[in-house]
Amino acid sequence: MAQYRLKWTDSGDVEKSIYKNQLNTSAAGNISVLRISVVDQDGTAVNLTGLTTSMKLYVGVEGTLQMNGVTLALVGAATLGTLIYRLTGSDIATAGTYAVNIYCADNATPASATDALTVGGLTLRMVETMSD
């Protein structure tokens, strides 16, 4: 069975910091835009064609569920394995550390899925202000 992992597309890392009250715009490089890549054990993009993708965000490491099943959009071709989500002001209100899990399935209803995977391992840190 293949092993999958996630990485932040912009840095290639598994940890990312964002800033509280950062404006959410579509401008390139905006830090409130989360771009996530799903890759296999060799770092090759996972083909997400035909899959429904969603995200869960937990306070701490798999603590309280903060966001449940928000839909992620594909960036470019599904074969690139890259997903995007634009945070809104109500998504994360408190500075702290959050764990991110991505769910990909061939059916929007998990109980009806015949092919599904859940991938975790990403950390998102919300910090109060930008530092020098």
Contact yes or no for 67/55 (Cβ under 8 A): yes
For residue 82, pLDDT over 70 is answered with yes
Instruction: For residue 105, list its beta bridge partners.
Output: 52, 116
Q: How confident is the model at residue 116 (pLDDT cuts 50, 70, 90)?
A: low
Instruction: Summarize pLDDT for 29-60 with one digit per residue, the tens.
Output: 445 778 888 888 888 888 888 888 888 888 88
Instruction: Summarize pLDDT for 9-20 with one digit per residue, the tens.
Output: 877 778 877 766
Task: Tell me the pLDDT of the chain averaged across its residues.
Answer: 76
Query: Domains along the chain?
Result: 4-127 (2.60.40.10)
Instruction: Provide the pLDDT for residue 107.
Output: 63
Q: How far apart are CA 67 and CA 85, in angstroms?
A: 12
> For the ranges 10-24, 38-52, 69-83, 112-126, which has the lowest average pLDDT?
10-24
